[in-house]
Amino acid sequence: MSSSEPPPYFNISPDEALRQLAPPTGTAGFAEIAQACTQGRNDLAGRGLDAKGSKSLRLFSTWEITKYLIPVAPAHFRRVLRQNESLPQGRSETAGGAKWFTLDEVLRLRAFFAAEGSKSKDYQPYRPKNAAAKIVAVANFKGGVGKTSTCAHLAMSAALDGYKVLMIDLDSQGSMTSIFGGKVEDEWQTVFPLLARHYAHTLQADNQRRLDRGEAPLPLDDTLTEALTVRTQDIIQKTHWPNIDLIGAQLNLYWSEFQIPVWRMQSRGWKLWDALTDVLQDDGVLQAYDLVFVDTPPALGYLTINGLSAAEILLVPLGASFLEFDSTGRFFDMLHSTFQSIEEGENTAARALGRPEMGFEWDAVRAVITRYDGGQQAEMAGLIQAYLGRTLSPYRQDFTALIGQAGESVNGIYEADYRDFNRETYTRGRATFDETYAAFKTLLLGIWRREELETLSEAG
Ligand SMILES: Nc1ncnc2c1ncn2[C@@H]1O[C@H](COP(=O)(O)OP(=O)(O)OP(=O)(O)O)[C@@H](O)[C@H]1O
Ligand SMILES: [Mg+2]
């Protein structure tokens, strides 16, 4: 802009402005806009899908496997493959070119090295025997702070590392579900029926007491009756990652936010915060996975409360800016009052009945700086560090252009083919998410080890 030109908001003609204006929008206008978005979304989401309309995961090269996935030197890797014809041999695009493998094949190779290779190497990630899956929730009521990105990347890193992962999407926006190519028709393929089932069991127990007192039982409506037949396994879907499964979300899941308080009014004794934990436990899901990641909506509603109380590790992403720090502080304040009021309610009743009191407990709670720009935010990040101390994860996840830049069907660093990027950009982008995972894994292993030692000392 030359200095002689007026700023763009001067000299706007009302008549010209009117000419550009469309007629007012009514309610139906939203439907039209939504329709246009759905059309666009489906077109975009359809790109890069296979013939069955499913997502597929890219292949992994020998370079990537030996650098990032299995701790073995490339020459040794090739030798072991040559000597064991029954192992996956990979495929190459040109004669004598680099060999590429599916993740399933990588997992088989890793299992082979773990069984046959040097016992001093970490071919398989640590996990105490018989330990239940660790549940990790990612939450912050501030929107757009990187919850879903962090959650998805941690899940993918953990899967590449050899863990078996279940994702639970509690956000009716369904971003995590899109990332993993989930197909969700309605609320019956979300956690909704699981929560309903938990409530239905409470109502049945209440009704038994009503009958014992000679009172009329409350009827179970169609929704509750049907929910009684749903098991977690029925709604878990496979994804294009061989070792990541998904419980998806969709707009209708939001209905739970209205339904849950109605149920709670009807049955005061319903421990709604235990619903998700109890159902996962009762259905044996926690024995079938190593890690469960829960992505939550940017709100502290009933679904988030359920996710947070099921979680043993709570991660709270935030950007290193004043506004995000400020609102994250309020989020912790809300967590305190929400869980305290649940504890008070429960413990008042428990004391009256002479029963033991309850209290929520998390193995670890960590704030995680995301989208960090070292050039602009070092001072703010330092301040946040000073105020939060050990609650802040030691690693700051950098802002990286790799996110959002990859193709429509590709989500994040681990799904992207490194050949599509400048090697330097790729290496730096990947490093920041690898470090985010390393900080998380340190936390996880510490917690698992603590439990393992406790079990040993109890047994001995
Ligand atoms: N490390 C990063 N570098 C660059 N962009 C990032 C990074 N992490 C997240 N983003 C981008 O920031 C935006 C918000 O991220 P994301 O959707 O993960 O946030 P969210 O907290 O889950 O949002 P919501 O509150 O809506 O659920 C997205 O466009 C995402 O691609
Ligand atoms: Mg999100």
Find where tokens 């917690």 sit: 447
Residue from 323, 93, 325, 297 nearest 191 by CA: 297
pLDDT 10s per residue in the chain (460 long)? 567 899 989 999 999 999 999 888 888 988 998 898 888 877 777 776 776 778 889 999 999 999 999 999 999 999 999 999 999 999 998 888 899 999 999 999 999 999 988 888 889 999 998 899 999 999 999 999 999 999 999 999 999 999 999 999 999 999 999 999 999 999 999 999 999 999 999 999 999 999 999 999 999 999 999 999 999 999 999 999 999 999 999 999 999 999 999 999 999 999 999 999 999 999 999 999 999 999 999 999 999 999 999 999 999 999 999 999 999 999 999 999 999 999 999 999 899 999 999 999 999 999 999 999 999 999 999 999 999 999 999 899 999 888 866 556 668 889 988 888 888 888 888 999 999 999 999 999 999 999 999 988 888 7
- Predicted confidence at residue 204, as pLDDT, reads 97
Residue 262 CB-half CA count within 13 A: 8
Specify the residue with its C-alpha closest to ligand 1, atom 12: 146
**Tokens 């409350």 appear where?**
218
Distance from Cα 146 to the centre of ligand 1, integer Å? 4
Q: Distance, CA 380 to ligand 1 centroid (Å)?
A: 19
Is residue 350 within 8 A of residue 356, CB to CB? The reply is yes
Listing DSSP states for 94-109 in one string gives STT--EEE-HHHHHHH
Query: For the sheet containing 165-169, what is the strand order?
Result: 237-238, 244-247, 165-169, 291-295, 134-138, 313-319, 364-370
383 Cα to the center of ligand 2, angstroms: 26
**Whether 258 contacts 302, CB under 8 Å:** no
| Cβ(224)–Cβ(199) below 8 Å | yes
Q: How far apart are CA 134 and CA 313, in angstroms?
A: 8
Q: Please give, one letter per residue, the 3-state secondary structure of 45-82.
A: HHCCCCCCCCCCCCCEEHHHHHHHHCCCCHHHHHHHHH
Cα–Cα distances in Å, from 97 out to 75, 90, 103? 15, 11, 19
pLDDT digits (tens, 9 = 90+) for 137-194: 999 999 999 999 999 999 999 999 999 999 999 999 999 999 999 999 999 999 999 9
**Rounded to the nearest whole angstrom, what is the distance from the C-alpha of residue 254 to the centroid of ligand 2?**
14
Distance between CA atoms of residues 283 and 276, nearest Å: 11
| Domain 134-444 of CATH type 3.40.50.300 | yes
Residues 6+ apart with CB under 8 A from 440: 136, 154, 315, 393
Widest CA span in the chain: 89
| Residue 398 DSSP symbol | B
- Which ligand is nearest to the Cα of residue 175, counting in written order? 2
CA neighbor of 436 nearest in space, from 414, 451, 452, 416? 414
Strands 91-92 and 237-238, sheet pairing: unpaired
- Give, using CA atoms, the residue closest to atom 10 of ligand 1: 146
Tell me which residues have their CB within 5 A of the ion that is ligand 2. 147-148, 175
Nearest to 180 by CA among 201, 209, 151, 142: 151
Helix (H) or strand (E) segment spanning residue 173 = none
CB atoms inside a 10 Å sphere around CB 335: 20
Tally of residues, the chain: 460
On the CB side of 387, CA atoms within 13 Å amount to 12
Looking from the CA of residue 433, the nearest atom of ligand 1 is 1
- pLDDT tens figures, 318-354: 999 999 999 999 999 999 999 999 999 999 989 999 9
Separation CA 44–CA 159 (nearest Å): 26
Q: Which ligand 1 atom sits nearest the alpha carbon of residue 143?
A: 25
From residue 275, alpha-carbon distances to 37, 117, 175, 194, 317 in Å are 34, 43, 23, 8, 25
The answer to whether the pTM exceeds 0.75 is: yes
Helical segments of 311-369, H only: 322-353
> Which residues share a beta bridge with 392?
367
272-309 as b/e: b if 16+ CB within 10 A: bbbbbbbbbeebebbebbbbbbbbbbbbbbbbbbbbbb
CA of 442 to the centre of ligand 1 (A): 23
Scan for tokens 């926006």, then name that residue.
173
Alpha carbons 348 and 355: distance in angstroms, whole number: 10
